[in-house]
Amino acid sequence: MKSTDAKAPIAYKQPTELEKHGDVRIDNYFWMRLSDKQKLTEVRDKQTQKVISYLEEENSYYEAVTSYTKNFEEKLFEEMKGRIKEDDSSVPYKDNGYYYITSYEKGMQYPIYSRKKENLDATEQIMFNVNEMAKDFDYFQLGGLNISPDNKLAVFATDTVSRRQYFLRVKNLETGKIYTDIIDNTTGGSVWANDNKTFFYTKKDPVTLRSSKVYRHVLGTPSSEDVEVYHEKDETFSTYVTKSKSNKYIIVGSYSTVSTEAQFLDANNPTSNLQMLQPRERDLEYSVAHFGNDFYLLTNKDGATNFKLMKTPVNKTTKENWTDVIPHREDTLLEDFSIFKEYLVLEERTNGLNKVRIIRWDAKEDYYLPFDEETYSVGVYNNPDFDTNIIRYSYNSMTTPASVIDFNMNNKSKEIKKEQEVLGGKFKKENYISKRVWATARDGKKVAISLVYHKNTSLNKNTPLLQYAYGSYGYTIPDNFSTTRLSLLDRGFVFALAHIRGSQYLGREWYEDGKMLNKKNTFTDFIDCSKYLIDNNYTSEKHLYAMGGSAGGLLMGAIANMNPELYNGIIAAVPFVDVISTMIDDSIPLTTGEYDEWGNPNDKEYYDYIKSYSPYDQVERKAYPNMLVTTGFHDSQVQYWEPAKWVAKLRELKTDNNLLMLRTDMDAGHGGASGRFDALKETAKDYTFFLALENKIDPELIKH
């Protein structure tokens, strides 16, 4: 990017002394932290005004530095938008006698939810037009759509702040009337009992945002009279409520990082008492489905690190009654399962690749769906119908657009219901190359890297390469297709997805080896992948870029401190970078439930370890790469002040003349903009950052 006359903001320093275990940290930017009340009030106190002014100064600096790229950024946005079928709709799925459809209209930001009774030729009934609902809001999210068993009512959830604190309301789908019932501060989900008048929902703690209580609501009664069904008092656990696919049971679950617990009640008798399935035990995890006279459990019981499937009679549910259905395998992670009347469907992962296994209950058949690409992503849909021989799944790869496929488990025929259209007339699958390579980490472990690039791109030290990863919570980023990514690939970039430890790409142990006191493996894996790509002539330090968000933003902060010389540019999106201060403060949303992911710094061993990699604490007086940091003012997952403080400290200490920019969306939270086109504009800004550093902006589009 070009130099600019704009001067970077210098944040005010107000030292705050933070002491723990005899260790004193001086935080010069602790003052940037505002409470929710301060953020949401219209009358701003002195500190609130000071914080907002600083964020606005950073936004103004970003706009000034990038002003010359605005024409190109707009072209990039239109290019990305031009690949999308704007008047698109989902493949209809059938549930309880109705086909449900999600559609978009040309030029509209938000979806329309509709349904048709019994067959697809029936009259379409629009349930929710989110464009109408969102028109008066800068941010709007509709979620939690839940139809009553008699198909007449819908519970729906709305969030207009982007803190994932949803209001629940009920709409009569026959009359269009929205009931006066309104419930605040929920997770957005709900579950109907079978009487069509009672539903269950989960409320959040207003301060920590932990989902802590399950309530029962009866239509027509004030929410103040709702009955508390369950209170999860352990601050390291959260709770939820769901319904079995059989519609027979309401299940109330509690979960932490390493332990789960489920209770259940009869969905036909919503006022009945909860029954315990299996009391919680540390390091015992299980999830529940119901079929016939049994509960089926995906569990790690008996040291089943990669999980196995067990079952137990509904009237004898404790663990001594559990028996194996699918035993544990050392080389295969059992990720999920779906139950049908005649079939059991398993979602597995072996050597990093998804597999779908289909087994008849009568044991006459047991086979895998065939997939032939070197790397790909497949996922089984919800499939709400129980009595069916059709399983719906999605398939895509880094070069293959997403398809929705119906597979007949009886005759093994398949029907592609929809393949993602890439408009614009330029995309051809055969123009792109995808492959998987394996880097050797410093401790000898092999780390997979999925690569995709245009066939005309020469691989050498001058090739720009964007390396992406996440690496936490056991979440595995799929090797999927992206229409927006084409804007990089068509301009000569290679995209590399590093499957580092902290994910479950190579099974549960891959996750365990990248958390708690093994967390640094996540960072060194990413760095060792970077070195592999450089050493094998895919790119060089001058053309290597890195990107990650949330916990992946922590990864970006760590690699920037550990090996800044490897990267020409880094984007850290909503980054979790002030790890020690956040994890030591249990009043911050979601902290206590994270102790088994990062460690509890109230224990000195974990305090010392976390501090040794926490990006904010490890900023040093040295040169850093070009960096763009993004955040949302209303972020509930990673509070905005973490990236804001981090940027301020980097500005204070860095010794280089490279770019450092902070972009704050003052209307959004962790997920960014809510409208589909607004989200594309954010992606265009990010890609412009990388392309400008590579001097790949069309000269005629540069503002002088």
Q: Which of 559, 608, 558 has its CA nearest to residue 583?
A: 608
Q: Are strands 494-498 and 660-665 parallel, antiparallel or unpaired?
A: unpaired
DSSP calls for 30-52: GGG---HHHHH-SS--HHHHHHH
Pair of tokens at residue 209: 């945002």
Q: Which residue has the tokens 């990388």?
A: 690
DSSP single-letter state for residue 442:
T
Distance, CA of 683 to CA of 634 (rounded, Å) = 19
Q: Which residues on neighbouring strands pair with residue 298, listed in sequence order? A: 287, 309
Annotated active-site residue 635? The verdict is yes
C-beta separation of 100 from 89 below 8 A: no
- Judged on CB neighbours under 10 Å (0-12, 13-18, 19+), 261 is buried
Q: Which residues contact 363 (CB under 8 A, 6 or more apart)?
A: none
Helix segments in 44-157, DSSP class H: 46-65, 70-82, 130-134
State the catalytic residue, choosing from 256, 338, 472, 550.
550
Distance, CA of 32 to CA of 53 (rounded, Å) = 11
Helix segments in 418-519, DSSP class H: 486-489, 508-512
Distance, CA of 87 to CA of 103 (rounded, Å) = 7
State the catalytic residue, choosing from 159, 635, 665, 686.
635
Tallying the residues shown for the chain, one arrives at 704
Going across the sheet that includes 125-129, the strands are 93-95, 98-103, 112-117, 125-129
Centroid of chain to Cα 600: 23
Please list the active-site residues. Answer: 550, 635, 670
